[in-house]
Each structure stands twice: as structure tokens, then as C-alpha cells.
């Protein structure tokens, strides 16, 4: 009996193409489960990690009781952040400061003044929140997760009963 017949079958039963396809599938499975590779990007290997503080501003947050949200931040002292639609995880909340609501009022002499908003039912609040975490310090600046952290970057804050957007206004690297 011949090992390979005229139709390309081994011992008249198995096609060489079928055996080749089965070997490729077997090698892919072995490669996935036994050699998964390294986690993280190569750019993050050997990069120093330092504590950073991030100030974010929240403008026009529609909320009925802003004091309840501020108390929630002060009691839990943690929040989840999402940078450019990439979840990072939890960071510490160092401080929360509610900003006064002002309106621009023209004066009779043509100048304008910013005066406190007399309306109490606007359901809109502004605040500055200081967050703290550990970031990798690269040549291009601090990196949280895989996202660069710079002034102007939109940052999403998420908790049990809130999810809103803010903007980074200051990044401080601590030593």
C-alpha cells in the first residue's frame, strides 16, 4: 500500500490539505493559550510612576442638590474616571469646591460686571474637583492607563449615582 495515492490522500483516507488545516488550527490554539504574550505596551516598560494631582472643572452640571454630590465625594473620597472613552479605574478625590454662579450685567456707562446670579432654581452648578492618582511619567508627560493626561483633555467622572463630563485644567506631578 502506498503512503500517498494519486488524489493526495495519506494511506487513502486523509487529505494532505485537511491535515495542514488541522495543524494550523492546533498551532493557533497552542499559541493563544500557552504563549499569550506580554500585557501592556512596550512603551510603558521601565517608565517611572509618580503621584499626580489633576484639577478638573465641571461647568453647567444639571443637578437638583449639588451639596449632596459634594458630600458624596467627601465621604467616599474615590471616583472612577474615563479618559477619552477608555476606563482607567479609581482615583482619590482630594477636594471639591463649588464655584459661585455669576451673570454678566451691563452697566449704564457701557462696562460689564459679573454679579452673583439671583436665580436659585437654575439646577445648574459649576465646581472644581481635585483628583489624585499615580501616573507614568513619559517624555510626553504623565500617562494614566494608556491615555496622556494634559490640560484640555475631557475626563468623565462616574460613580454609583452620577456620570458627568469635566475638563482637565491643571496637572501637577508630585515628588
Contacts of 113 (CB under 8 A, 6+ apart): 104, 105, 107
CA angle 88, 91, 97 (to 5 degrees): 125
**H-type alpha helices, 35-166:** 66-76
CB atoms near residue 143 (< 10 Å): 20
The structure's pTM equals 0.68
118-129 residue pLDDT tens: 887 778 889 999
In this predicted structure, the answer to whether residue 149 has a pLDDT above a threshold of 60 is yes
33-65 residue pLDDT tens: 887 665 555 455 677 889 999 999 999 888 888
pLDDT at residue 110, as a whole number: 94
88-99 residue pLDDT tens: 889 999 999 998
- CA separation for the pair 23, 128 (Å, rounded): 59
**H-type alpha helices, the chain:** 16-34, 66-76
**Could you tell me if 155 and 82 are in contact, meaning their C-beta atoms sit under 8 angstroms apart?**
yes
- CA separation for the pair 155, 37 (Å, rounded): 31
Mean pLDDT across the chain: 87
Amino acid at each position: 500500500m502506498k503512503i500517498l495515492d494519486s488524489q493526495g490522500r495519506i494511506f487513502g483516507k486523509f487529505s494532505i490539505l485537511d491535515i495542514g488545516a488541522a495543524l494550523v488550527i492546533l498551532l493557533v490554539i497552542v499559541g493563544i493559550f500557552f504563549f499569550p504574550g506580554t500585557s501592556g505596551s512596550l512603551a510603558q516598560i521601565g517608565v517611572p510612576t509618580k503621584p499626580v494631582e489633576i484639577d478638573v472643572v465641571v461647568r453647567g452640571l444639571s443637578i437638583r442638590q449639588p451639596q449632596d454630590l459634594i458630600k458624596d465625594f467627601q465621604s467616599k473620597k474615590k471616583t472612577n474616571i474615563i479618559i477619552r472613552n477608555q476606563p482607567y479605574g479609581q482615583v482619590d478625590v482630594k477636594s471639591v469646591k463649588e464655584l459661585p454662579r455669576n451673570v454678566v450685567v451691563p452697566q449704564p456707562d457701557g462696562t460689564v460686571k459679573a454679579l452673583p446670579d439671583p436665580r436659585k432654581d437654575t439646577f445648574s452648578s459649576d465646581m472644581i474637583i481635585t483628583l489624585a492618582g499615580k501616573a507614568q511619567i513619559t517624555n510626553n508627560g504623565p500617562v494614566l492607563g494608556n491615555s496622556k493626561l494634559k490640560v484640555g483633555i475631557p475626563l468623565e467622572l462616574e460613580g454609583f449615582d452620577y456620570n458627568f463630563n469635566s475638563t482637565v485644567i491643571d496637572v501637577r506631578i508630585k515628588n
